[in-house]
Amino acid sequence: MPSAPTIDPPQRSATAAFLAGFGAAWLSVMAYVLIGTYIGLAALAHDFGFSLWWLAASTVLVWAGPAQVILVSALGAGAAPIEVAIAVSLSSVRLLPMVISLLPLIKQPQTRNRDLLLPAHLTAVSMWIEALRLLPPLPREQRIPFANGLGLSFMLAAQIGGGFGYYLATSLPPLLSAALLFLTPMSFLISTTRNCRLLSDWLALVFGLVLGPLLAFWQVGLDLLWTGIVGGSLAYGIYRLREARR
């Protein structure tokens, strides 16, 4: 009796991998979290007088929720452009370690740099969390198109939410807008926990949860950057020490 192949990597084309990623996005809670989050963001943009097209363009170009919230509220409040640029940049430091810990999963020795531009641009918390979970079982040559499909699908979800939110804007009660803002920490915490495999993952999660608000409360400059470097290095160091003792 011929055994049925579980996967047929070489036959599946890049297009099929892209579509698989595009479809996988809608099985993830992140697609719905993005819709909700961008309903809230669009209501904010509407209140500050930005057009729906401007919001859509910012989602394509910036593709980072917290940075977009800062951009809309600071520009809308008339802050100096240079201050806005610095605030946006500080809020997006997390993208650096995320890209560094995603690209080695998808590239091959012969991968051209320009083929990594789109996956790097699509890297955001939602896509990073789900890519780390879904990519490892896939054959390497399918990972770039899969990641692109996943990221673009999430971006589509955000645009759908943005469209809804823009028209709902004036009728969004404060309770609902608070609930939409709460989607981000709730879903990020659970999804990150689900991805924790190694001791260093767990320790980094706990150290970050403690250090983040503590450093912000003490008004340490670049609080998130330090949270990452101190919390992440401690977690990695302890993990390595334990491994060495075995």
Partner 1 sequence: MSGELHAYVLLVLVGFLPNEIWRMLGLVVARGIDEESEFFMWARAVAIAVLAGVIAKIVMLPPGTLAGVPPGIRLGAIACGFVAFLAVRRSVFAGVIAGEVVLILGALAYGI
Span from 4-12, 15-23, 160-168, 188-196 in contact with partner 1 (CB under 8 A): 188-196
Q: Total residues at the site for partner 1 (CB under 8 A)?
A: 97
Q: Which of 17, 24, 35, 125 binds partner 1 (CB under 8 A)?
A: 125
Whole-number Å distance between alpha carbons of 109 and 119: 16
State the maximum Cα–Cα separation within the chain, in Å, rounded to a whole number.
72
Span from 17-25, 145-153, 163-171, 209-217 in contact with partner 1 (CB under 8 A): 209-217
Q: Where are the alpha helices (DSSP H) in 62-142?
A: 65-76, 81-91, 95-106, 114-122, 125-134
Cα dist. 180→32, 34, 74, 174, 188 in Å?
A: 11, 10, 20, 10, 13
Residues between 35 and 64 with contacts to partner 1, criterion CB under 8 A: 44, 50-51, 54, 57-58, 61-62, 64
Span from 4-12, 142-150, 156-164, 231-239 in contact with partner 1 (CB under 8 A): 231-239
Judged by CB under 8 A, does residue 104 bind partner 1? yes
Cα dist. 73→84, 167, 202 in Å?
A: 9, 18, 34
Provide, rounded to whole angstroms, the least separation between the CB of residue 142 and partner 1. 16
Whole-number Å distance between alpha carbons of 33 and 180: 8
Judged by CB under 8 A, does residue 113 bind partner 1? yes
Residues between 156 and 175 with contacts to partner 1, criterion CB under 8 A: 174-175
User: Which tokens belong to 12?
Assistant: 């599946």
Provide, rounded to whole angstroms, the least separation between the CB of residue 158 and partner 1. 15
